[in-house]
Each structure stands twice: as structure tokens, then as C-alpha cells.
């Protein structure tokens, strides 16, 4: 895969900085709450300067979603995909998701969980972009579960679609508890629940090995979160 070695122009750097701030604001005020005026105040730029980058509120919203997606790839997907294929990689994806919330990559928690609530009942391009990201994330969890099954690390009857749904539900619940209630213990509870669900889906030999290994809930997550980036796609 070719590596882009070109230095970003000043305009590209300015646009990236604007979108970084826009994504942060969207997790607090919502995508619908974004406006050129609000962003001008937050960045110290003029409205006319911002209009040079984004011709409309819709352009700004869609560009913000894409910028948030790129951040999610860098902060969650690439580190997770460095882990060995199988259960370890599946756990790494869940751990990196929790980690990016815990580290406050976005001040309002998961960008896409916040946006889903904000635009869920509003059809249109913004809604469709958020749905597409959610489906991509679920598809990744399903693929990682299938890989684990193919490696014999899950029972043949384990349903990857169901596992992905349950893991996503636990991850979103942790995000909601942390953002809404300020409860950092939600991350540990999500990790415990994810490990417990995986033990049920493992073959008997795998469950025995997992119990013997001891089983500190953080074990798999700590190993994978320290590894370097790989390309997501």
C-alpha cells in the first residue's frame, strides 16, 4: 500500500484542526447543534473563513463525521487489529473501544453513540452516514468473531451476529454510564461481562484453559492496547 509522504498544505492543516474541534463539540452539543457561528467562536476564526472550507451546515456535518471516523480508525481499529487473530483480537477491539472513551478522545464519549441519539429520528445524509459507520463497526465485530470460530476458539454453534450485538450493547452501556453518570466503574463491569460471555461461547477445553490462566479481566486488553498501529483497510 502506497504511503502518502506529501506534507499537508496550510489549508489542509487548518481544515483538519477545524474538524477536530467540530467533532469534539458534536459529542457535547450534538451534530444538529453544530453551526458555522459556534465553530467560529470555538476556533477563533471568522465565519467567512469557515465558509471557505464548508459551504453549508450539511457539508460541515458530513465532514465532521468523516473526521471522527478517521479518529476512530486510528484510536480503536488499528491498535486492535494488531492483536493476533481470534479471541484475542476480538477482545482487543472491545478493549480499545472502551479505552478511547476512558481516555476522553472525544469529551462526550463515543462520537458515534452520541450522534446516533442525536440524528436517529432525522432521515437524511447525516443519519445515513452514522448508520453506515455503525454497520461497519458491527460487521468488524462479526468478522472477528467468525475468525475466532474458524480457529476453533469458539463453539461451532456460536452466532457471530449475536455476539457482535451483545458486545456492542455492553460497550454502549459502559459509554452511557460513564458520560451520563460519571461512573468509571462501568468500564470494568463491561470487561467482566464481555469475558463472561466469551467463556460461554468457548469450547469446553478453552473455558478450562481460560479459568486456569486466571483470568484477570484486563489481561487480554492490556496486552493488545500496548501494540502498534496497523492499517485497517
Predicted local confidence at residue 224, as pLDDT: 37
Residue 26 has a pLDDT of 93
pLDDT tens figures, 152-187: 999 988 999 999 999 999 999 999 999 999 999 999
How confident is the model at residue 45, as a pLDDT? 85
Superfamily of domain 69-225: Tetracycline Repressor, domain 2 (1.10.357.10)
Question: H/E/C letters for each residue in 4-40?
Answer: CCCCCCHHHHHHHHHHHHHHHHHHHHCCCCCCHHHHH
Ramachandran angles phi, psi of 105, nearest 5°? -55, -40
**Among the listed residues 68, 75, 72, the one whose alpha carbon sits nearest the alpha carbon of residue 25:** 68
Question: Over the stretch 192-216, which tens digit does the pLDDT of each residue have?
Answer: 999 999 999 988 755 554 554 444 4
Q: Record the pTM.
A: 0.82
The confidence score (pLDDT) of residue 106 equals 96
Given pLDDT bands bounded at 50, 70 and 90, which one contains residue 53? confident
Give me the DSSP letters along the chain. Answer: -----PPPPHHHHHHHHHHHHHHHHHHHH-STT--HHHHHHHHT--HHHHHTT-SSHHHHHHHHHHHHHHHHIIIIIHHHHTSPTTHHHHHHHHHHHHHHHHTTSSTTS-HHHHHHHHHTT--SHHHHHHHHHHHHHHHHHHHHHHHHHHTTSS-TT--HHHHHHHHHHHHHHHHHHHHHH--THHHHHHHHHHHHHHHHHS-HHHHHHHHHH---TTHHHHHHHTS------
Cβ-defined contacts of 169-174 (< 8 Å, 24+):
170/94, 170/194, 170/197, 171/94, 171/97, 171/98, 171/110, 172/110, 172/113, 174/98, 174/101
State pLDDT tens for residues 78-119: 999 999 999 999 999 999 999 999 999 999 999 999 999 888
Residue 42: per-residue pLDDT:
86
Average pLDDT (68-86) is 97
pLDDT at 34: 84
For 14-29, what is the mean pLDDT? 91
- Is the pLDDT at 125 greater than 80, yes or no? yes
In the predicted model, what is the mean pLDDT of the chain? 85
For residue 139, give the nearest of 151, 147, 150, 128 by alpha carbon: 147
Contact 40, 47 (CB under 8 A): yes
Question: What residues does each domain of the chain span?
Answer: 69-225
Amino acid at each position: 500500500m502506497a504511503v502518502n509522504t506529501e506534507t499537508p498544505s496550510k489549508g489542509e492543516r487548518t481544515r483538519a484542526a477545524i474538524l477536530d474541534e467540530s467533532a469534539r463539540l458534536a459529542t457535547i452539543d450534538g451534530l444538529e447543534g453544530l453551526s458555522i457561528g459556534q465553530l467560529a467562536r470555538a476556533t477563533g476564526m471568522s465565519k467567512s473563513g469557515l465558509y471557505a472550507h464548508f459551504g453549508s451546515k450539511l457539508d460541515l456535518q458530513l465532514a465532521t463525521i468523516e473526521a471522527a471516523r478517521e479518529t476512530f480508525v486510528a484510536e480503536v481499529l488499528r491498535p486492535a487489529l494488531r492483536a493476533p487473530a481470534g479471541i484475542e483480537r476480538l477482545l482487543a477491539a472491545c478493549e480499545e473501544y472502551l479505552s478511547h472513551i476512558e481516555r476522553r478522545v472525544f469529551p462526550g464519549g463515543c462520537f458515534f453513540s452520541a450522534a446516533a441519539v442525536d440524528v436517529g429520528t432525522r432521515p437524511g445524509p447525516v443519519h445515513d452516514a452514522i448508520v453506515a459507520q455503525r454497520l461497519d463497526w458491527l460487521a468488524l465485530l462479526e468478522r472477528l468473531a467468525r475468525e475466532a470460530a474458524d480457529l476453533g476458539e469458539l463453539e461451532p454453534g456460536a452466532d457471530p451476529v449475536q455476539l457482535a450485538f451483545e458486545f456492542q450493547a455492553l460497550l454502549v452501556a459502559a459509554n452511557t454510564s460513564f458520560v451520563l453518570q460519571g461512573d468509571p466503574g462501568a468500564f470494568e463491569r463491561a470487561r467482566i461481562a464481555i469475558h463472561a460471555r466469551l467463556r460461554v461461547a468457548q469450547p469446553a477445553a478453552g473455558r478450562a484453559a481460560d479459568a486456569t490462566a486466571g483470568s484477570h479481566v484486563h489481561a487480554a486488553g492490556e496486552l493488545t492496547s500496548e501494540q502498534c498501529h496497523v492499517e485497517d483497510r
